[in-house]
Structure 1
Amino acid sequence: MVAAAAALRRWSIPLLSCAVPAGFAVWAFPEGLAPVRAAGIITGWLGCGLLLVSLLLMLREPRLAAWLGGLERMYRWHHATGLAAYLFLLLHPLLLAANNLSSPRVAWQTLSPFTESWPVWSGWLGLLLLMGGLVTTFIRRIRYGTWRWLHALLGLGVLTGLVHLILLGIDEPVLPILAVAAGILGWRLIRGDLGLAARPYVVTSALPLAARSIEVVLRPLGDPAMVTPGQFVLVEFGNGDRYRGCGEFHPFTVSTIAGQDELHLAVKALGDCTTRMQAIEPGVAARVIGGFGGFVDPHGRAPQFWVAGGIGVTPFVALLNAGPLLHPTRLLYLYHCEADAAFLPELRATAAADPKFTLHAVETGDGVPDLGPLLPPAGELSGAECYLCGPPGLVAALKSALAARGVTAQHVHYENFEFR
């Protein structure tokens, strides 16, 4: 039963990404047209279906994320389906024009918006808006708030593209699709970005954890968020007497779920907002959405190998704080220097007290270390489930190193917070 549920989660997004655009293409499949023109129509509908899937995958709903295998996985597929949709929609006018290649003048008139009417103009406008939204995905240097609003061009591009179809006289099934797309965008705006789905909390304390890191304790002011050990939450902090919040929801991993449903969050200064949070004070109001994730299975029977980079140790700390381990577990904890290592004293104490838990703490300095001497031999990894949490560069290097030791992809689990 558990294996079937895991398989369903693993295949849910790929099946959804294939079924929706395929359904649109089958419904709209043209008959009696030249193959190139028919291909131009089909690519347009495939792009439309992929865009609808991409919109669904950007929702920040805990139950939906649990069904689809996690919020981070949803965001990766959101990017992939959005990019694939753009490519299909770019092929759409190109193939329609290619149908008239025997007459270059007619082909140009088919392709150029300057020789066409508002319905064609709206199609090109939707395509340009999609391009603008996609470009922001690959720009890492702009501030998160600026990126978020620029990324909203994707939603405007979807709506404009559907209006393009309506102006062409295609009402079915475009009007229901337009209603669904508008509903998804409105749901994300109201419940996610504006925080209608958030639960109210207040900061009760903020204590130093390591260099440039603090642990913030949140107490619920009403019904608490549904969070389990190893998960992360999206939190927006308000203003205090001296502290000014960022006005944005950011992901933070829960290190402990204490009595009275208090949440302990590990916060490392990695950007503008988290650097400002190092000065957060008690009494600051917070809004919490979640929990999300939980990529470690605490009930599995196989031995586990955990690898944490820096503040990525937090979900593993949460699992250790939740109770005794059920299976042999080894943690490889990598950090720049000991002053930078959050929770290191607690981890050493747990390793000394729990015979099922082994800690290998390594000071690496800057950059990704040579993982070869640090990883267990292939024989010790055989049959183990490997869980990775840390910077994307470290996770990528670990995946390659584990594969070289014969660990298959299905036994390697990881999570990151690159929600761009």
Structure 2
Amino acid sequence: MKPQRWLPPALCLALPLAGMAWAWPVGLSPWRSVSILSAWAGCGALLASLVLMVRDPRFAAALGGLDSLYRWHHRSGTVGYCLLLIHPLALATDGLDESPQVAWQTLSPLAQDWPEWLGWLGLLLLMAGLASTFMPRLPYRRWRALHYLLGLGVLLGLAHLWAILGGSLGVLGAIGIALAALGWRLVVSDFGALARPYRVSAVRHPATDLVEVTLAPCAAALAATPGQFVLAAFGDGEGFHGCREFHPFTVSGIGPGGVLKLDIKALGPCTRHLQHLTPGVTLRLEGPFGDFLAAAGDGPQLWLAGGIGIAPFLAVLRSRLPAQPTHLIHLFRHADDAGFSDEIQALAAGSPNLSFVPVASGDSPPDIGPLLAAVPGLAGREAWLCGPPGLNAAASRALRRAGVPPEAIHFESFEFRS
């Protein structure tokens, strides 16, 4: 694990502990103390979740990568919501010592005033927003709209705190963190305030349901390197109206003057629409993010790509041929999906260090074991995997069985929502 990858979980632990330390109850009943501590721990976890959704290249690199940030964003938000659920239940349990009626009045919004209504409404919005994160097949626009409810739910929860406790230092600090994180995400990331303008200069279709676009910068270019990805929001052009949503795409080529190539597979409504891109379409880019292949060692390499997962390897090969023995396996379903096989075969023919194995697996999951068993000196290779989660998991298991140590297995997955 990269050293920076400890920072997101450390933040997810530090903010809840800080909230509990600040609000530590003295002289209260046990259940009321549990209620107070769970509320502040949940608030801290949700604040950590908001901070980890900030989408900035430098911030992401400092904390171990955008994938790590989003993974802990989801975990911290889930834990925070569960902790907040304990808050009213512990209060009601405390009321049971007096009478069941008091306990019920603690839980019933009808028996409470507007500060409590803010808290209940915040919990309901958190529930709706959090539910969307467990629905991977939910259309992106609907998922994003529901996800915004999480931020609104946190703000209502903080308003609940303000109404009850007033403008204390802890409440003001929590509100400041939430507003800063939400403001950055909304203005800078979602609205693209710092995004770089580009224009589509060329379009080609190397395979079925796949478009390769060449992008020329209209101002200062992004300093991308092979193995990184960008977030692109395509606008309008002659005969084309873009989705105007930021979606992640791996850079598949880097040219002089900041020119970038992206290969876009039709995997959803927006990417299917992007198959009709034309030269002249304007877009905005955020990034670059990621460091896939940046830490590759000097020893023999195994590269395994599934479908459009060939993109980061293609970017490396287009920039430089490998200096160490490199065995590249590209899995795709059918021959008309092999858009880059001829290009890579030509590169392999001119490089003694590159061997290339294209494999059409059909509609059934590929039998990855025999493919890997045929790789010369497999146990001594460093493995880099880029493909769907199922392929990465199956290949990782097969590699470990073949004697490749876990620390020599690196992978990048397609599953990513911004």
Q: Flag whether TM exceeds 0.5 (same fold).
A: yes
TM-score by length of 2: 0.94
Provide Cα deviations, 1:330-350, integer angstroms capped at 9, x if missing partner.
222111012102311122122
Instruction: Give the corresponding residue for 1:98.
Output: 93
Matched letter for residue 149 of structure 1: A
Q: Using the alignment, how far apart are the partners of 1:409 and 1:392 within structure 2?
A: 17
Q: Does 1:237 align with 2:234?
A: yes
Instruction: Give the corresponding residue for 1:27.
Output: 22
Q: Does 1:291 align with 2:282?
A: no
Instruction: Give the corresponding residue for 1:3.
Output: none
**SS in structure 2 at match of 1:278:** helix
Q: Using the alignment, how far apart are the partners of 1:258 and 1:126 within structure 2?
A: 49
Cα gap change, 1:379/1:310 in structure 2, threshold over 3 Å: closer, same or farther?
A: closer
Q: Does 1:344 align with 2:344?
A: no
1:327-366 equivalence runs, <5 A = 327-366=324-363
Q: Is the 8 A contact 2:387 2:414 kept in 1?
A: no
Instruction: Give the corresponding residue for 2:323.
Output: 326
Corresponding residue to 2:396 among 395, 399, 413: 399
Corresponding residue to 1:41 among 31, 36, 43: 36
Deviation at 1:86, TM superposition (A): 0.8
TM-score by length of 1: 0.94
1:135-174 equivalence runs, <5 A = 135-170=131-166, 171-174=168-171
Deviation at 1:392, TM superposition (A): 2.2
**SS in structure 2 at match of 1:119:** helix
Cα gap change, 1:366/1:323 in structure 2, threshold over 3 Å: closer, same or farther?
A: same
Corresponding residue to 1:62 among 41, 57, 65: 57
Deviation at 1:35, TM superposition (A): 2.5
Cα gap change, 1:379/1:322 in structure 2, threshold over 3 Å: closer, same or farther?
A: closer
Matched letter for residue 184 of structure 1: A
Q: Is the 8 A contact 2:228 2:291 kept in 1?
A: yes
* Uncovered stretches (5+) of structure 2, i.e. residues with no partner: none
Deviation at 1:298, TM superposition (A): 5.0
Deviation at 1:117, TM superposition (A): 1.5
Q: Using the alignment, how far apart are the partners of 1:304 and 1:402 within structure 2?
A: 13
Cα gap change, 1:308/1:59 in structure 2, threshold over 3 Å: closer, same or farther?
A: same
**SS in structure 2 at match of 1:288:** strand
Provide Cα deviations, 1:111-170, integer angstroms capped at 9, x if missing partner.
222212212111111111111111111224433122212210000011111111111115
Q: Does 1:189 align with 2:182?
A: no
Instruction: Give the corresponding residue for 2:116.
Output: 120
Q: Using the alignment, how far apart are the partners of 1:10 and 1:301 within structure 2?
A: 24
Matched letter for residue 71 of structure 1: L
Deviation at 1:32, TM superposition (A): 2.0
* Uncovered stretches (5+) of structure 1, i.e. residues with no partner: 1-5
Q: Using the alignment, how far apart are the partners of 1:333 and 1:321 within structure 2?
A: 16
Q: Using the alignment, how far apart are the partners of 1:367 and 1:50 within structure 2?
A: 42
Q: Does 1:418 align with 2:406?
A: no
Q: Using the alignment, how far apart are the partners of 1:301 and 1:225 within structure 2?
A: 28
**Number of equivalenced pairs:** 415
Q: Using the alignment, how far apart are the partners of 2:318 and 2:143 within structure 1?
A: 36
Across the aligned residues of Structure 1 and Structure 2, the Cα RMSD in angstroms comes to 1.9
1:261-276 equivalence runs, <5 A = 261-276=258-273
More displaced, 306-315 or 32-41?
32-41
Matched letter for residue 148 of structure 2: A
Q: Using the alignment, how far apart are the partners of 2:325 and 2:8 within structure 1?
A: 32
More displaced, 368-377 or 45-54?
368-377
Matched letter for residue 309 of structure 1: G
